[in-house]
Amino acid sequence: MQRQLVFIPIRNDELDAITGVTTLTRRQAHTVTSELLEALEYTEAQTEDAEYAAMVIASVAALAAHGERLVLVAEVPASQVSPGTDASNGEVVVADVPPESITCWFSEAEGVDFADAAAAASGLDVDTAWDFPQVQELLHANDMLWNGVEEFRRGVQDV
């Protein structure tokens, strides 16, 4: 079965999808598509760079939709992925995100002030939000942190 890596913008209260408490269905996500490769002028050999770009794009989508950059990463069956409305930004729709498909998540480092960027991006599409100086400042000054799902799952069991 062919699998596809997707980056899913989420709200903080959806992070428990990692353990299956929250169910994610019909979710907007971002992934490496031929349109994304073309828009960024990447070759097929630059898949890792394109995956990073898709994650950053998903983080801006999360900022615009939810007021913070929080992105789940999942490897789902390709049959669960259909085209979204913003192909040049790698947008897709994921029919179902089972907890076991979630590999990690990205979040802001503690203490990062993203309030100005969140206010500027609120309710906008990715391209419009991307162009705001506050969003660019956040992207350039603050890399997101990688978080392993096992840490989250262990933390839930310890409660």
pLDDT tens per residue across span 6-54: 999 999 999 999 999 999 999 999 999 999 999 999 998 999 999 999 9
pLDDT value for 158 = 45
pLDDT of 120 strictly over 50: yes
Over range 55-68, report the average pLDDT.
98
pLDDT of 159 strictly over 70: no
Ramachandran assignment for 67, one of left (phi > 0), alpha (psi -120 to 50 degrees), beta (any other): left
How many CA atoms, within 13 angstroms, populate the side-chain half-sphere of residue 62? 30
Beta-carbon contacts of 115 under 8 Å, excluding residues fewer than 6 positions away, are none
Q: Which domain holds residue 138?
A: 3-158
Q: How many Cβ atoms from other residues are within 10 Å of residue 23's Cβ?
A: 11
48's enclosing H/E stretch is helix 47-66
pLDDT value for 151 = 79
Q: How many Cβ atoms from other residues are within 10 Å of residue 12's Cβ?
A: 12
CB 150 within 8 A of CB 158: no
User: In this predicted model, what pLDDT tens digit does every residue of 66-117 receive, in sequence order?
Assistant: 999 999 999 999 999 999 999 999 999 999 999 999 999 999 999 999 999 9
Place of tokens 């802001």: 108
**pLDDT tier, 156 (very low <50, low <70, confident <90, very high otherwise):** low
When divided into structural domains, the chain yields a total of 1
How many CA atoms, within 13 angstroms, populate the side-chain half-sphere of residue 152? 22
